[in-house]
Amino acid sequence: MRAPSFWYRPTDIRGALLSPLGSLYALATKRRVAQPAKTKTQAKTICIGNINAGGTGKTPTAIALIQQISERGNSVACLSRGYGGSLDGPILVTPQHTADQVGDEPLLLSAFAPTVVAKDRSAGAAFADTLGVDVILMDDGFQNPDVSKDASIVVVDAVKGFGNGRTIPAGPLREPVQAGLKRADLLLSIGPQPAQKTFEEQWGKTIHCPHVTGHLVPLQTGMVWTDLPVLAFAGIGHPEKFFATLKAVGADIKRAEALADHQPLTPALMARLEAEARALPAQLVTTEKDAVRLPDAFRSKVLALPVRLAFYDKTEINALLDRFGL
């Protein structure tokens, strides 16, 4: 499902008309987050969440934190509900699992750290704690009270910001910005410097927690993208960001197809894209996260452009880890 365009237009009358429903949604969230936690882990639990519905860059944030925590000599595991996966868990993700079973994000994260999938976050946290790690990174769950959080990092796309500032269905927010950031230990906005400046101008007065900025950069794999004709497709929160990254590395985008977030890459869909690419002609290219959902028959036919999160300044990230002796 695509986000309504009016969510990102503050003057659109539809947001105002739906604001009473948004207020009810916000009230329900307020009541939910006030519930006592069911599970407290021995490991430090850090939640990587968001206030916005949809993708904001949590997966690259998790990968960056895995690397940061590991470089400081600490062990880490990830915990996810496995959106789109069929297994209830709790279960430790292995290379034998598929995205249909555990979800695409856990399958990707499992390449960097032990990753537990569980529809029940309390059971998943308890299971992850048995791994004996120093840190559990909880992917999403900022508005879920079941697991006690030692710290919470809210991730936002600097380009989209908090949209029109209204809660669902009037806007893109799961809860009001001030209410959410009051519980956050850190706000991470992801985007290029011009977008960061605009984000700060628009939302800076509502930010009362440490604010870290970062941007996504293509991972150097030796692949030469310059002038390569491509048919790009992406089923992530904001596909246009991926297409912009491809363009920035020099690829010649013959066609770009934006899919719904986590959209299944069925054999029929891939056969159509393959036929269109052959007719252009162009090379099929997708995101690293989409690549784990590819049918086996197409894995050798599609290139992936991986990206990594680069912090403009790690001072506040290090300070957060220092606080827990990590």
Binding-site annotation, residues? 52-59
CB within 8 A of 189, min separation 6: which ones?
A: 155, 156, 157, 158, 196, 199, 211, 212, 213, 214
Give every strand in the sheet of 229-234, ordered side by side: 252-258, 229-234, 283-287, 302-305
- Encoded amino acid at 124, one letter: G
Q: What six digits make up the tokens of 94?
A: 């292995």
3-class secondary-structure state, position 183: coil
Handedness of CA 41, 114, 141, 91 (dihedral sign): negative
Q: Which residues are annotated as a binding site for ATP?
A: 52-59
Instruction: Give the whole-angstrom CA distance, residue 156 versus residue 154.
Output: 7
Give CA–CA dist 173/25, Å, rounded: 10
Q: Nearest-5° angle of CA 245, CA 248, CA 253?
A: 80
Distances (CA, A) of 114 to 50, 66, 118: 22, 10, 13
